[in-house]
Amino acid sequence: MEKGTVTKWYRKEGESVQKGEPLLEIMSAKVTMDIEAPAAGVLSKIVVQDGSEVSPGTVLATIE
């Protein structure tokens, strides 16, 4: 995947997340996929909002 678009966040800032649970949805030219939380904690900051185009390796959010 060269680029994708964030289509939906499943959690809001301040909500708890568990490692491995779906955190957001990204759509590329060929597929729509869920991105899992890489760690458990609290979603403290969403960096990339819905509708934003991103490249692989972009920081999407922070979990504390």
Residue 2 confidence (pLDDT)? 86
Return the structure tokens found at 33. Answer: 């996929």
Q: Are 19 and 37 in contact (CB under 8 A)?
A: yes
Residue 26 confidence (pLDDT)? 96
pLDDT tens digits for range 1-38: 789 999 999 999 999 999 999 999 999 989 999 999 99
Q: Would the CA dihedral through 25, 23, 9, 60 be positive or negative?
A: negative
d(CA 5, CA 31): 11
**Which pTM value belongs to this model?**
0.87
Domains of the chain, CATH where assigned: 4-53 (2.40.50.100)
- 45, pLDDT greater than 90: yes
